[in-house]
C-alpha cells in the first residue's frame, strides 16, 4: 500500500466521537480565532460566506468577497461521489460542525447516513502562538462504508482568493498565481497586488499520495474535478495575474470497504514585507503623476 489504511478500529473511534459530540452540536457556522487569524466553517466543511469573516488574517478578509468560492470534491470508481460547494450551499455527506473544541472545529459525518456510504471527519484548527499563527490547518479522515472496495479515489479542494478587494484602495479580484511545489511539497499561492498572500499547501507525508497543485485557467468560482487537476500536471511556476481559484488534488488510490485514509493541508496567510508596500505606493504615485501629465497636456 502506498499509504497507511486504518482498520475497523477507526470506524469505532469515529462512531464514539460522533456520539460524544452530538450533544454539543452548534448551529453552523462555527468560528475559531486566535486573535489574528479567524475561520468560519459551515456544516459541510467549507469556509462560510454568510458572515463578515470566512478566512481572515490581521484584519484582511481572503475569501468572503463577491462570488465567494470554497469547495471540496470526492471521486471514486471512475465517477463523482460528492461535491461540497459554498456557492451552492450544499452538504453532500451530511456532516455537522462541532466546536470550537480545544481551539478547533471538528466536522463529523452522521455515520451510516448520506453520502453513499462515505464518512468524513474534518478537523480544522488554528495555532494560538508561534510561527504558525497565520496557518489554518485541515486534517481529513475519509472512510469507505459503501459495502465494497473503491478504486480511483480522488480528493480536491479549492478556494477563490480575493484579498485585494478588501484593500484600501480596492485592488480588484485578481491575484498573481504560482505553483510552488509538487508531490509531497505541493503548494499553490495567490498574491494580491499589495502583497497579501494565501498559500494552499499539502501537509501529508511525501510518499503518501500523488498530489498536485492547480491554478484554474477557466474559472474563479467553480469546483474543479480532482481527476482533471491530476491529469493537467501543472508544473512549478507562475500562472499569471487573473481572478483564478487555487486548488490541491489528491490521488488516494484504492480504499477497501471499512477502511480509512487520512491526509492534510493548510492555508498559510501572509502580510507583505514593508518594501512591498513601498513599491506599491511608488507605483501608484507614478500612475497618478502620469495621469496628471496627460490631463495637463
Rounded mean pLDDT of 50-61? 90
Q: How sure is the predictor about 232, in pLDDT bands with cuts at 50, 70 and 90?
A: very high
Q: Is residue 148 in some structural domain?
A: yes
Instruction: Confirm if 195 and 277 have CB atoms less than 8 A apart.
Output: yes
| Domains held by the chain: number | 1
In angstroms, rounded to a whole number, what is the distance separating the alpha carbons of residues 265 and 159? Answer: 13
Q: Is residue 215 in some structural domain?
A: yes
More confident residue, 131 or 267: 267
Q: Which residue segment(s) compose the domain that 173 sits in?
A: 8-296
Q: Is residue 3 in some structural domain?
A: no
Cis peptide before 239 (omega within 30 of 0): no
In angstroms, rounded to a whole number, what is the distance separating the alpha carbons of residues 295 and 196? Answer: 33
- Say whether 12 sits in a helix, a strand or coil: helix
Non-local CB neighbours of 289 within 8 Å, separated by 6+ positions: none
Q: What is the pLDDT of residues 171-199, one digit of tens each?
A: 999 999 999 999 999 999 999 999 999 99
Q: Is residue 117 in some structural domain?
A: yes
- Say whether 145 sits in a helix, a strand or coil: coil
DSSP letter at 196 equals: -
Q: Is residue 33 in some structural domain?
A: yes
Q: What is the CATH number of the domain that holds 248?
A: 2.70.98
Residue that the C-alpha cell 480509512 belongs to: 260
Q: What is the pLDDT of residues 90-127, one digit of tens each?
A: 999 988 888 888 778 888 865 545 557 899 999 999 97
What is the per-residue pLDDT for 181?
A: 97
Grid cell at residue 11: 470506524
Supply the mean pLDDT for the chain: 83
Instruction: Confirm if 84 and 120 have CB atoms less than 8 A apart.
Output: no
Question: Does 226 score more than 60 pLDDT?
Answer: yes
The torsion angles phi and psi of 29, rounded to 5 degrees, stand at -85, 160
Grid cell at residue 187: 503548494
- Give the HSE-up count for residue 108: Cα atoms under 13 Å, Cβ half-sphere: 24
Q: Is residue 241 in some structural domain?
A: yes
Instruction: Confirm if 119 and 109 have CB atoms less than 8 A apart.
Output: yes
Category of 68 on φ-ψ map: left (φ > 0), alpha (ψ -120 to 50) or beta: beta
Burial of residue 117 (CB within 10 Å: 0-12, 13-18, 19+) is: middle
Q: Is residue 2 in some structural domain?
A: no
Q: Is residue 97 in some structural domain?
A: yes
Amino acid at each position: 500500500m502506498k499509504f497507511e489504511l486504518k482498520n475497523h478500529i477507526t470506524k469505532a473511534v469515529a462512531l464514539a466521537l460522533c456520539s460524544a459530540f452530538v450533544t454539543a452540536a452548534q448551529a453552523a457556522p462555527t468560528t475559531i480565532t486566535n486573535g489574528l487569524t479567524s475561520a468560519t466553517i459551515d456544516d459541510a466543511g467549507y469556509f462560510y460566506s454568510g458572515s463578515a469573516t470566512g478566512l481572515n488574517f490581521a484584519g484582511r478578509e481572503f475569501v468572503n468577497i463577491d462570488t465567494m468560492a470554497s469547495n471540496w470534491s470526492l471521486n471514486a470508481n471512475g465517477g463523482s461521489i460528492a461535491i461540497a460547494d459554498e456557492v451552492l450551499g450544499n452538504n453532500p455527506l451530511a456532516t455537522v460542525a462541532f466546536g470550537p473544541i480545544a481551539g478547533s472545529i471538528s466536522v463529523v459525518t452522521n455515520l451510516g447516513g448520506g453520502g453513499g456510504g462515505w464518512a468524513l471527519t474534518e478537523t480544522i484548527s488554528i495555532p494560538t502562538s508561534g510561527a504558525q499563527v497565520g496557518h489554518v490547518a485541515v486534517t481529513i479522515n475519509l472512510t469507505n462504508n459503501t459495502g465494497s472496495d473503491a478504486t480511483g479515489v480522488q480528493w480536491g479542494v479549492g478556494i477563490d482568493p480575493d484579498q485585494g478587494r478588501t484593500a484600501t484602495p480596492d485592488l480588484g479580484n485578481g491575484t498573481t498565481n504560482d505553483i510552488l511545489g509538487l508531490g509531497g511539497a505541493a503548494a499553490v499561492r495567490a498574491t494580491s497586488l499589495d502583497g497579501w498572500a494565501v498559500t494552499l499547501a499539502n501537509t501529508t507525508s511525501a510518499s503518501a499520495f500523488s498530489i498536485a497543485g492547480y491554478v484554474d485557467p477557466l474559472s474563479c468560482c467553480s469546483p474543479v474535478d480532482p481527476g482533471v487537476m491530476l491529469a493537467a500536471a501543472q508544473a512549478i511556476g507562475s500562472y499569471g495575474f487573473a481572478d483564478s481559484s487555487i486548488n490541491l488534488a489528491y490521488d488516494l488510490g484504492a480504499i477497501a470497504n471499512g477502511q480509512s485514509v487520512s491526509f492534510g493541508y493548510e492555508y498559510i496567510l501572509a502580510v507583505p514585507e514593508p518594501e512591498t508596500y513601498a513599491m506599491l505606493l511608488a507605483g501608484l504615485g507614478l500612475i497618478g503623476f502620469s495621469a496628471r501629465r496627460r490631463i495637463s497636456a
